[in-house]
Structure 1
Amino acid sequence: MEKPRQGFAGLWNISFGFFGLQVGFALQNANMSRIFQSLGEDIERLPGLWVAAPLTGLLVQPIIGHMSDRTWLGRLGRRRPYFLAGAILAAIALFVMPESPAIWFAAVMLWLLDASLNISMEPFRAFVGDMLHRDQHSAGYAVQTAFIGAGAVVGSLFPAVMEALGVANVAPPGQIPDTVRYAFWFGGIALFLSVLWTVIATEEYDPAQMAAFEAAAATPPAPPLRALAAHGYGTGLGWIAAGAFVVFVQMRASLLREVLLLGALLVGYGLASMLAIALARRGKETNMLSSIVGDFAGMPPLMKRLALVQFFSWSALFIMWINTTPIVARYHYGAADAASAAYQAASNWVGELFAIYNGVAALAALTLLPWLARRIGAARTHIVGLVCGAVGYASFFVLRDPTCLIVSEVFIGIFWASVLAMPYAILASSLPQAKLGIYMGLFNIFIVVPQLLVATVMGSIMQAFFPGEPIWTMAFAAATLLLAAAAMLRVVPLVPAGARASF
């Protein structure tokens, strides 16, 4: 028994909810530094405030992946309950965020927003694998990427559209401009309605059907959880020692306090892994902790190699999202004061630049990437995308006219399309379908861990070596993408994703 092939309408319905999710992510990415600085925060402390985004992803995605693999709520299904719950919470956060009276409140709302978006987003990645035949995975993730790009364009442009309609783009010190407030409210409505469309317009395969599809595909079984019981405690102790060393360095070198979070996370993972091994040795194989740690330890080799690529790729992306607004404001508009009209104009231009790279990504996902994948393969196509990203970031040093940064965004857009589609298409065709949710959640750890490193370490690096010069973060971003391209040379897809990327 094989999954039926989906037509374009089916592909549309499966991924349309991602349009609204990306409206929310785009508003967050393009405006949170602006909100924090408008409320009076210093530029060097921005990475520490952004730590909410990767930390919530690190905690939420594996848990939601594990739970969604085991959920079946009748007509509501397996993944859709999480789509709906996350959308409701994210919409609430988007409505409340622009009313933040202080920095701490905005930071709390960022935690809620990012956690809620992750509750919806992680099951959406697995949903494509659930609903589509293997030879449609590339097409499915291409359509999903197109919706990501389209949603990001709308979310990024909305403040500029509001200004063009006469809405105030400047506010008194300590307040958030009306253009941003209205954009977040619009984003809450768009997010909820688009996710609701997917919930209503799709019907998931029940557990019996999924089991039949799995058997027909002859998917190799996942490693048994009891293998975790054979592991020793040495690795866990190593993680704890690494965390303690990070804390020691932070105290001796007087690094920013955010570095302590990195040390705490390393210690926490070491303790969690040791506890999971202890539970497995006692025969308690059904608990969530042992399942997640066991699946993490037993990741397929292909997934481990792709994870390294993701680590470098998302380090560069997080650097861009945090620093593009202060970079463009300072180096292209000559504005360092967050309350000035020039700074707010630069912020709106950053929103438009983000819209450009997302628009390019939407087009590239449906045209350039499938064409390249058919000719040179998915892995080499992703290498091309990573190199394009490095070129785009490096060009910020050369292009001083703000308008010329459009060229930078075209290269970044190709990279963005590739990073959203190619790794997932390669991965979904090589994983056991019964554990697609947890494996996608674990795979996304290598999205959020580099973001945590950037959020906790980059501030200290910049303060020590390049104080007040955020443009140097783009050099870090370009270098990490070249490392990602080199790591991609070791990835050989089990199924040639892109070979049959027809709709």
Structure 2
Amino acid sequence: MEKPRQSRAGLWNISFGFFGIQIGFALQNANMSRIFQSLGEDIEKLPGLWVAAPLTGLLVQPIIGHLSDRTWLGRLGRRRPYFLAGAIMAAIALFIMPQSPAIWFAATMLWILDASLNISMEPFRAFVGDMLRKDQHSVGYAVQTAFIGAGAVVGSLFPSLMDAMGVANVAPPGEIPDTVRYAFWFGGVALFVSVLWTVITTREYDPAEMGRFAASPAEAVPTVRALASRNYRACFAWLAAGLAVMAIQQQFSLLREVLLLGALLIAYGLASLIAIGLARRGNETNMLSSIVGDFSGMPPIMKRLALVQFFSWSALFIMWINTTPIVAQYHFGTTDAASATYQTAANWVGTLFAVYNGVAAVAALTLLPWLSKRIGQARTHIAGLICGALGYGSFFLLRDPTHLIASEVLIGIFWASVLAMPYAILASSLPQGKLGIYMGLFNIFVVVPQLLVATVMGSIMEAFFPGAPIYTMAFASGTLLLAAAAMTRVTPLTDGAAR
């Protein structure tokens, strides 16, 4: 038995909540470096302050995915309770963030905001797979990507719109401009209302209905039982790697954020030790063993796509951290975060981010489906990755800030592809009963590269390119070329046999 085909209105309702979620992410991505610098932080320390965002995603998404696979709250459903809870917390964080009196407070609120956004966002990826039949997966994720792009446009442009309306765009040193303050408050309202719309207008299939639908191509495997048969060698390897990273940080006096990377490696090694021990004792229902077992037992196509995601999101996080200081320094000629010129540059970055997100919204519904039908999903994604590499590389060549719009068009095509293609490929290749946990685990390969950028990039820039953030774009361009090469090893079901 196949799921009913969703109408256009159904496709709209399923993903409309992502519109508000992405407004929140866009405000965070375009303005957090600005907020930190407005509160007096040095540019070299920005990556360390951004650690909170990817770290919360790393911890939250697998847990929420695991829990949402096992949740059923009657009329409220399986995924929607998490949409609503995350939206309420994120809206509160957006209202409090622009009132931050100090850097430590802003960093704490970034942690809370990103955790809340991830609680809402993670189930939305699985929600599309839950609600749509396999032949609608591509269009479902395309619609979701269009809402992501539209929400990001609104979130990115709002400070500039406030400036055009005469709202103060400059604040005394140590304070946040009113344009940013009002934008965050607007974002809190928009996020809550849009998520509430999806909660009210959709009805999830109950467990009995889901059981009657056709099984996914890959059936769920007893990953906890498989975990019980593993030895502890890999666990000790993770522990050794973490200790080695910490020793290198001490030996070469790298930034303290590098210690976090070592701590995470050690934490995963310890978690694996505990998970294997619990599995060997026959405890097959604990969450830790389930998550570790599912992570180690990922389907082959997911493992190959994970490498593509790793390189892709390294480039994206470099962009989000560094675009504002790059544009301010190289295209507007200032490094003074308290100056009117810097704030004008920051508003222009918001406009540039709106361009790439707007292009992504259009490309997701037009260019990507057209290309997929003609050259397949894998080659379409390769083309998108190459567009991104060209877009980042062009920052070295263009000095007129208006010419950067061309760069953002290329980046927008790349962004659309990253948001749509990997998830469309996965949705038809994963066990239906584990769609939430696997989508959450897939996010690890979105988060880990961000953590690496946040912990390692600062040390690299301080050692080799102090005060020259433009060179981060070279790293971004190079990693996307590596992602395109890795994508050649992925063959989706729609392009042949998934492997």
Q: Give the TM-score category using the shorter length.
A: over 0.9
Deviations 1:41-93 (A, max 9, x none): 00000000000010000000000000000000010000000000000000000
Q: Shift of the alpha carbon at 1:199?
A: 0.2
Matched, 1:164 2:164: yes
State the partner residue of 2:355: 356
In the TM superposition, 1:50-89 aligns within 5 A as 50-89=50-89
Shift of 1:94: 0.2
Residue 33 of structure 2 corresponds to 33
Q: 1:439-454 alignment to 2 at 5 Å? A: 439-454=438-453
Relative to structure 1, the CA distance from residue 290 to residue 410 in structure 2 (aligned partners, 3 Å threshold; closer, same or farther) is same
Q: Is 1:146–1:361's contact at 8 Å kept on the other side of the alignment?
A: yes
Residues 182-193 of structure 1 aligned to structure 2 (within 5 Å)? 182-193=182-193
Q: 1:222 & 1:437 partners in 2: Cα distance?
A: 15
Task: Answer yes or no: is 1:414 the counterpart of 2:407.
Answer: no
Q: Which residue of 2 aligns with 1:338?
A: 337
Correspondence 1:85-96 to 2 at 5 A: 85-96=85-96
Name 1:435's counterpart in structure 2: 434
- The answer to whether residue 473 in structure 2 is matched with residue 477 in structure 1 is no
Q: How big is the shift at 1:22? A: 0.2
What CA deviation, in whole Å up to 9, does each residue of 1:6-56 have, x standing for no partner? 111000000000000000000000000000000000000000000001000
| Equivalent residue, structure 1, for 2:376 | 377
In structure 1, the gaps of 5 or more residues are: 498-503
CA distance in 1 between counterparts of 2:495 and 2:40 reads 50
Distance in structure 1 (CA, Å) of the matches to 2:300 and 2:422: 14
Matching of residues 9-28 of structure 1 within 5 Å: 9-28=9-28
Equivalent position of 2:195 in the other structure: 195
Q: Which amino acid aligns with 2:397?
A: V
Aligned residue for 2:119?
119
In structure 2, how many angstroms separate the alpha carbons of the residues matched to 1:194 and 1:169?
28
Partner Cα distance (1:169, 1:245) in 2: 46
| 1:234 aligned partner, one-letter code | R
CA shift digits 1:86-110 (9 cap, x unpaired): 0000000000000000000000000
Secondary structure of residue in 2 paired with 1:285: coil
**Matched ranges for 1:44-55 at <5 A:** 44-55=44-55
**Aligned residue number for residue 243 of structure 1:** 242
* Conservation of the 8 A alpha-carbon contact between 1:223 and 1:298: no
Matched residue type, 2:123: P
Query: Quick one: distance in 2 between partners of 1:343 and 1:151?
Result: 25
Return the offset for 1:496: 4.0
Matched-pair identity in %: 81
Which one-letter code corresponds to 2:310 in the other structure? Answer: F
| Partner Cα distance (1:2, 1:423) in 2 | 23
1:96-115 alignment, distance < 5 Å: 96-115=96-115
Query: Could you tell me whether the CA contact under 8 Å between 1:83 and 1:124 is conserved in 2?
Result: yes
Give 2:250's aligned amino acid: M
* CA-CA distance at 1:221 after TM superposition: 3.0
Deviation at 1:213, TM superposition (A): 1.1
* TM-score after normalising by structure 1: 0.98
User: For residue 43 of structure 1, what is the amino acid of its counterpart?
Assistant: I
Partner of 1:368: 367
Equivalences for 1:221-240 in 2 at 5 Å?
221-240=220-239
Where 1:116 maps in the other structure, the secondary structure is helix
**Aligned match of 1:501:** none
Trace 1:200-219 onto structure 2 (pairs within 5 A).
Answer: 200-215=200-215, 219=218
Aligned length: 496
Query: Match of 1:396, as an amino acid?
Result: F
TM-score by length of 2: 0.99
Distance 2:85 2:223 in 1: 31
Which residue in 2 is equivalent to 1:488? 487
The answer for unaligned runs of 5 or more in structure 2 is none
Which residue in the other structure is 1:325 paired with?
A: 324
User: CA separation in 1, counterparts of 2:262 and 2:211?
Assistant: 42
In 1, are the aligned partners of 2:356 and 2:412 still within 8 Å (CA)?
Answer: yes
Partner of 1:303 in structure 2?
302
CA shift for structure 1 position 494: 2.5
Amino acid at match of 1:256: L
Aligned to 1:465: 464
1:214 deviation in Å? 4.1
**Preserved CA contact (<8 Å) 1:214 1:434:** no
Post-superposition Cα deviations, 1:212-235, rounded to whole Å, max 9, x if no partner, equal 1144x5652324420100101000
1:327-365 per-residue CA deviation (whole Å, 9 max, x = no partner) reads: 000000001000000000000000000000000000000
Q: Is the 2:245–2:261 Cα contact (8 Å) retained in structure 1? A: yes
Shift of 1:495: 3.7
Equivalent residues of 1:69, 1:437 under 8 A apart: yes
User: What is the identity, as a one-letter code, of the residue corresponding to 2:115?
Assistant: A
Tell me how large the CA RMSD over aligned residues is.
Answer: 0.8
Contact 2:388 2:477 in 1 (8 A): yes
Separation of aligned partners in 1, 2:145 and 2:298: 25
Q: Distance in 2 between matches of 1:495 and 1:4?
A: 21
In the aligned structure 2, how far is the partner of 1:153 from the partner of 1:390?
A: 22
CA distance in 2, matches of 1:446, 1:225: 22
Q: 2:217–2:431: 8 Å Cα contact kept in structure 1?
A: no
Which amino acid counterpart does residue 285 of structure 1 have in structure 2?
E
